[in-house]
Amino acid sequence: MEANQVLKRAEVPVEQTWNLEAIFPSVEAWEKALNGIEAEIAQIVPFRNTLSQNSQQLFTCLKVTERVSREMEKIFLYANLGSAVDNSDQASQARAVQARGKYARLHATIAFIEPELIAIGFPTLKEWCQHNKDLELYKTYFEQLERKQSKVRSFEVENVLAMASEPMSTVVQTYNSLTNVDIKFGVATDEKGQTYPIEQGNFGALISHEDRSVRKTAWENYNDAFLKNKNTLAGLQIAGLQKDIFVANVRGFKNSLEASLFPNNIPEEVFHNLISVFRKHLPTWHKYWRIRKQWLGLDEFQEYDIKAPLTDQKPVVSYNQAVDWITEGMKPLGEKYVGILHNGATTDRWVDWAVNQGKRQGAFSSGVYDTSPFIMMSYNNDVFSLSTLAHELGHSIHSYYTKQTQPYIHGRYALFVAEVASNFNQAMVRDYLLRTQTDPVFQLALIEEAMSNFHRYFFIMPTLAQWELDMHQRLEQGKAMNAKVMIDRCAELFHEGYGDEVAFDHERVGITWSQFGHMYMNYYVYQYATGISGAHALAENILASQPGAVDRYLTFLSAGNSVYPLDALQAAGVDLTSSEPVEKAFNYLGSIVDRLEKVLAEK
CA 363/CA 350 separation, integer angstroms: 13
Q: Tell me what the mean pLDDT of segment 122-142 comes to.
A: 96
CA 320 to chain centroid, in Å, comes to 24
**319-348+378-444+527-602 belongs to CATH 1.10.1370.20:** yes
So what's the pLDDT on residue 2? 41
Over residues 136-142, the mean pLDDT reads 96
Position with higher pLDDT, 124 vs 87: 124
Helices then strands, each counted (H, E), the chain: 25, 5
Tell me the domain boundaries of the chain. 9-171, 319-348+378-444+527-602
Q: Helices 383-405 and 549-558 sit at what angle, rounded to 10 degrees? A: 70
- What is 9-171's CATH number? 1.20.140.70
Would the pTM count as exceeding 0.85?
yes
How far is C-alpha 586 from the geometric centre of its chain's CA atoms?
21
Q: Can you state the angle between helices 55-84 and 122-131, rounded to 10 degrees?
A: 100
Task: Check 392, 448, 449, 540 and give the catalytic one.
Answer: 392
Q: Write down the pLDDT at residue 3.
A: 43
Q: What is the pLDDT of residues 315-366, one digit of tens each?
A: 999 999 999 999 999 999 999 999 999 999 999 999 999 999 888 878 999 9
What is the chain's mean pLDDT, rounded?
95
Q: Which amino acid is at 534?
A: G
pLDDT at 5: 64
> Which pLDDT score is estimated for 1?
36
Q: Between residues 107 and 205, which one has the greater pLDDT?
A: 107
- Cα–Cα distance, 563 to 535 (Å, whole number): 18
Helix, strand or coil for residue 378? coil
Q: What is the pLDDT of residues 378-405, one digit of tens each?
A: 999 999 999 999 999 999 999 999 999 9
Residue 313 pLDDT greater than 90, yes or no:
no
| Burial class, 201, CB count within 10 angstroms (exposed 0-12 / middle 13-18 / buried 19+) | buried
**Does residue 40 have an active-site annotation?**
no
User: Residue 4 — very low, low, confident or very high, per pLDDT cuts 50/70/90?
Assistant: low
Residues 6+ apart with CB under 8 A from 108: 159, 162, 163
**Residue 174 pLDDT greater than 60, yes or no:** yes
pLDDT at 419 over 80: yes
Tell me the per-residue pLDDT of 93-114, one tens digit each, with 9 for 90 and over.
899 999 999 999 999 999 999 9
Write the DSSP string, 446-478: HHHHHHHHHHIIIIIHHHHHHHHHHHHHHHHTT
- The 10s digit of each residue's pLDDT in 274-304 is 999 999 999 999 999 999 999 999 999 999 9
Q: What is the CA radius of gyration of the chain?
A: 24
